Each structure stands twice: as structure tokens, then as C-alpha cells.
Amino acid sequence: MPAAEAGPVPGAPAGIAVLTGGPERVEAGLGLLMAREGGRLIVSGVGPEAGLGDLARRAGLEAADLADRTDLGHEATSTRGNAREVAAWARAAGLREITVVTAGFHMPRALLELRRALPEAALRPHPVAPFVARPLPMLREYLKLLGAGLGLSVLVERPRRILP
């Protein structure tokens, strides 16, 4: 059975990983966190200028209610980078079950990269519907999925520029 379909990991703490890049992902992740007592959240791929206060405000929440259970990952600039960032966070926190929040069309590639980086974890997809499904971005995502399946995602990664 693939990790994304495996049953809950008994006694293991659960985490939520939001892969940034589109509308409503962060809001969905923060909503899941508020509904899960004792859960932890990482928002991976956050721009260097963004803070938890900004993200919480957009979701209509108070940052103080989230601060001790939320981490912002500022390093990732790609899906492969998201996977590495989430894997390091999950291992450091001892998380064995991760709910993955990203756009539905992006979910197959996100799960592929996360399974490579974090094979020991059970992954639970929580897709967010895209604002508008446009043919060209969908085709681009499909081509990226094919490339990731062939292990080519390493070729397109770029480091995050640090602001002065």
C-alpha cells in the first residue's frame, strides 16, 4: 500500500505541511491546524519577507494562537526543495504522519518528491482546488511531474535569494 494511502500511524504525532505557491493553501493548512489539538504545521517555501502574522491575518486568525505550533520554511524554491524542507522538519519534530496541503493538480508531484525525501512517513493528501484551471499551467505541471518521475527535478532547483 503506498504511503499516501496507509492507515494512521498509532501513537505518532501528526503534522501538516503546506507547500506554498497558490491561493488558499496556507488558509487551508491553518484551518486544519486549528482543528487538530496538538498538531504541528510547516508552511514550506515562504518568501523571506513573510511572517506568521501576515499569513494568519489573511486567514482571519490570530498569530498568537498558532505561534507555538507553526514553523515557516524560507529555504525551498521548488517542489523538491519543499520536500527536503518538510522532511527535515518532520524528522526533527518526530512526525511520522503528514497531511500535505497543496493544489490538487500539484499533489501527484508533491507526493512523489515527499516520498523520496521522507519514505518513512505516512502522507495524507489534502488537495486545494485551484482558483482557475488553465490548460497551459496544467500542461506545464504534467511535464514537471514527468521530469520529477525521471529524477530530473534536481536540474532545475535554484537557491533562494536572501534579501539585504
Task: State the pTM of this model.
Answer: 0.78
- The residues spanned by each domain of the chain are 3-156
The CATH architecture annotation of domain 3-156 reads: 3-Layer(aba) Sandwich (3.40)
Q: What whole-number distance in Å separates Cα of residue 158 and Cα of residue 154?
A: 9
Dump pLDDT digits (tens) for 90-113: 999 999 999 999 988 889 989 999
What share of the chain in percent tops pLDDT 70? Answer: 80
Q: Can you read off the three cell numbers belonging to residue 5?
A: 494511502
Q: Can you read off the three cell numbers belonging to residue 129?
A: 482546488
Strand, helix or coil for residue 27: helix
Dump pLDDT digits (tens) for 68-96: 999 999 999 889 999 999 999 999 999 99
Buried (b) or exposed (e) across 120-157, using 16+ Cβ within 10 A? ebbbbbbbbebeeeeeeeeeebeebbeebeeeebeeee
Q: What whole-number distance in Å separates Cα of residue 104 and Cα of residue 157?
A: 22
